[in-house]
Structure formats: structure tokens, C-alpha cells
């Protein structure tokens, strides 16, 4: 069984999706850390959180346009991460 090689645009899309996934993961971890730090720097915390949330949403929309399943998965994971971060903050851990 022969497989065709990926086209240039397909390779480019895979590269973008990979970079986007890594960036979203790093930003998600950053948001969790900031939430866990509490209100020590609440002004900057809010600005950074809004900026990161906007970036994550934008990247999710880019991926979602490629595949409905993937976009839905990203939104579900974002909701889970938010719930986990809020619970960690509530517990003080």
C-alpha cells in the first residue's frame, strides 16, 4: 500500500497546528500559575490573563476552522483547565 507524500500546504498546516498546540499548553500552564499566586499582582494578572485567553481563543478558532472535532476538544479542555485552576485556588494549593 503506497502513501502519498504531504503537500507543502499540508506540511505548513501541521507545523502551525503543532506550534499552536505547544503555545496553548504553555499559556495554559502560565494561567494556572498566575491564578495560584493569588491577587499579589492582580492588575497585571488580569491583563495577562485576558491577553492569554484571547490568544488561546484565537488559536483554537484557527484549528477549529480546520476540523470541528479538534475545535470542540480545545474548548472542552480549556473549560476543564479553568475548573481545575479555580478549585486549586479555592483549596489554597
Contacts of 93 (CB under 8 A, 6+ apart): 36
The reported pLDDT for the residue numbered 28 is: 82
Q: Which DSSP state fits 44?
A: H
> Does the pTM exceed 0.85?
no
Instruction: Check pLDDT > 80 for residue 15.
Output: no
The C-alpha atoms of residue 61 and residue 70 are separated, in whole angstroms, by 10
Instruction: Check pLDDT > 70 for residue 2.
Output: no
Mean per-residue pLDDT over the chain, rounded: 76
Amino acid at each position: 500500500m503506497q502513501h502519498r507524500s504531504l503537500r507543502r500546504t499540508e506540511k505548513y498546516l501541521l507545523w502551525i497546528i503543532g506550534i499552536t498546540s505547544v503555545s496553548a499548553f504553555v499559556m495554559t500552564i502560565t494561567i494556572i500559575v498566575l491564578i495560584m499566586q493569588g491577587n499579589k499582582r492582580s492588575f497585571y494578572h488580569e491583563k495577562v490573563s485576558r491577553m492569554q485567553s484571547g490568544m488561546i481563543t484565537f488559536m483554537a478558532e484557527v484549528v477549529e476552522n480546520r476540523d470541528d472535532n479538534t475545535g470542540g476538544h480545545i474548548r472542552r479542555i480549556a473549560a476543564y483547565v479553568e475548573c481545575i485552576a479555580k478549585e486549586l485556588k479555592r483549596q489554597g494549593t
